[in-house]
Amino acid sequence: MSAPTETEVTLNRKQAALAVAPFLALGLANLVLLLFWGLDPLWGFMIFPPILFISVLGWIAFRTGFIRNEGEEPGEPGDEFA
């Protein structure tokens, strides 16, 4: 198996960003809506880190191929659960 080229890594990062962007936008829109409804701004600072954390976690999962289930193929030697 050859190492991924630089363009493949860039495409994976771009695809990961495109996949996570709607969820990040929904989280930020929810935060803005709550602040406009009169929520104390301190709560906004408490709500923002989990939104950002989950978005970054999703980006990492998409970028590394965890979502696409890359790895051992079913039925290979040493695969007891196939």
Is residue 32 in a domain? yes
Containing structural domain, residue 55:
23-64
For residue range 37-72, what is the model confidence (pLDDT) as tens digits? 888 888 888 989 999 999 999 998 888 877 666 555
* Domain membership flag for residue 59: yes
**How many structural domains are present in the chain?**
1
Q: Do 78 and 27 form a contact (C-beta atoms < 8 A)? A: no
d(CA 47, CA 75) in angstroms, rounded, equals 44
Of 32, 49, 50, which Cα lies nearest the Cα of 41? 32
Number of C-alpha atoms within 13 angstroms, CB side, residue 58?
Answer: 17
pLDDT at 9 over 70: no
For the chain, the distance separating the N- and C-terminal CA atoms, rounded to the nearest angstrom, is: 22
Query: In this structure, is residue 77 part of a structural domain?
Result: no
Q: Answer whether residue 76 is part of any domain.
A: no
8 occurs within a structural domain:
no
